[in-house]
Structure 1
Amino acid sequence: MDLTVAAFLAIALSLIVFILLGVWLVAPRLRVVGRAEALTALLWIHAFRHIALQAYSAQAVGSSVSAGLRDKIVYGDVLGMVLAVGAIAALRYRAPLSVALVWLFVAETIVDFSNAMMGGISEKLFAEAQGLTWLILTFYVPLLCVSLGMIIWQLVTRHREPW
């Protein structure tokens, strides 16, 4: 099987599993807790996005990712992580701008994921992903995408709730 096809198949399968997990197990539990608690649970998944820093070691051992794209991916994910952790703290302490911070996180993450995906496609990185990079791409990124969708769902459907 072509490596790019294998990567996209793995991503699709992970997305299916995480969507089912989200719909069948996570969503029912989120409905019975307050909005802040629901958002916090989903944001914790993004608290580990600093794993993108491994792009430096991947490049050092042969990945052909350009320095510009590598930096865009790393900075975008680290900023997303910082915003997620900041939003978690804001929600925990019921800060007045906590929901606005979650929306800022959502906007940054959408831009980051779009940039990383388009850059990865244009540099044909899906065909060379291996080891930890392959696991991040085919397992963690789909989880991040599904949790982002669930965060947006919580923000939109529960916008009238105080916390």
Structure 2
Amino acid sequence: MNAEIAMYMAQIFNTLAFTALGVWYVVPRLQKLSRAAALMALTAVHLGRTLCLELYSSQDAGLKMANAVRDHIVIGDIAGWALALVILFSLRSRLNASIALIWLLVTETILDFGSTFVTIVRAGTIGDINGTSWMIIAFYLPIVYVALGLTIWQLITRRHEPLFQDEGR
């Protein structure tokens, strides 16, 4: 087995494991939360997307990755992080535009991860990733995949619920 196959296997295995954990433990908890609180919890997962900045130190330590590939990853992830932060503030401020912003984050994440995957495969760098970068791709990204799926599920299945419940006001 080579490093590239090992990376793909780790992502697949971890995505399956985190999906099971999500169904067993996260879904029941989300169902007990208000729609806004559930969406806040799932959106907060994206705040870890600043981990992409680790690529700079990985390159300094010898990671063979073109600056254009690195920049593609960093720009997409920082955009997702910033959007997630705006969404959390909008949910906290009880803005109805929050749902549109969450759909924007879903779209941005799918497009970002898809284009990054294509860029990395074309560049042939997936097999060169190791250390902290490997851990991020093998463990954190599957968590984001599962959170993204749960976010879409929440947006669709709870679309008829009010976003903000009257809290005695």
What residue number does 1:149 align with? 149
Q: Distance in 1 between matches of 2:47 and 2:12?
A: 23
C-alpha distance in 1, partners of 2:75/2:149? 22
Taking the aligned partners of 2:33 and 2:57, their CA distance within structure 1 comes to 40
Q: Kindly report which structure 2 residues correspond to 1:1-163, keeping only aligned pairs within 5 A, or say none.
A: 1-163=1-163
| Structure 2 unaligned residues grouped into runs of 5+ | 164-169
Cα distance in 2 for residues equivalent to 1:159 and 1:77: 27
1:116-163: per-residue Cα shift (whole Å, max 9, x none)?
A: 111111112221111100000100011111101111111111111111
**CA distance in structure 2 between the partners assigned to 1:81 and 1:133 by the alignment:** 18
Name the SS of the counterpart of 1:31 in structure 2: helix
- 1:24 partner letter: W
TM-score (norm 2): 0.93
Q: Distance in 2 between matches of 1:109 and 1:90?
A: 19
Structure (1 or 2) with the larger CA radius of gyration: 2
Q: CA-to-partner distance for each residue in 1:79-118, whole Å, 9 max, x for gaps?
A: 1011111111111121121111111111111111011111
Over aligned residues, Cα RMSD in angstroms? 1.0
Give the partner amino acid of 1:60.
D
The AA in structure 2 aligned to 1:22 is G
CA–CA distance in structure 2, aligned partners of residues 30 and 96 of structure 1: 20
Deviation at 1:32, TM superposition (A): 1.4
Which secondary structure state, in structure 1, belongs to the residue aligned with residue 47 of structure 2? helix
Letter in 1 for 2:30: L
Letter in 2 for 1:75: I
> Structure 1 CA distance, aligned partners of 2:125 and 2:27?
33
Structure 1's consecutive aligned runs of 4 or more residues displaced over 6 angstroms after TM superposition are none
In the alignment, residue 89 of structure 2 is paired with which amino acid?
A: A
TM-score by length of 1: 0.96
Cα distance in 2 for residues equivalent to 1:133 and 1:124:
15
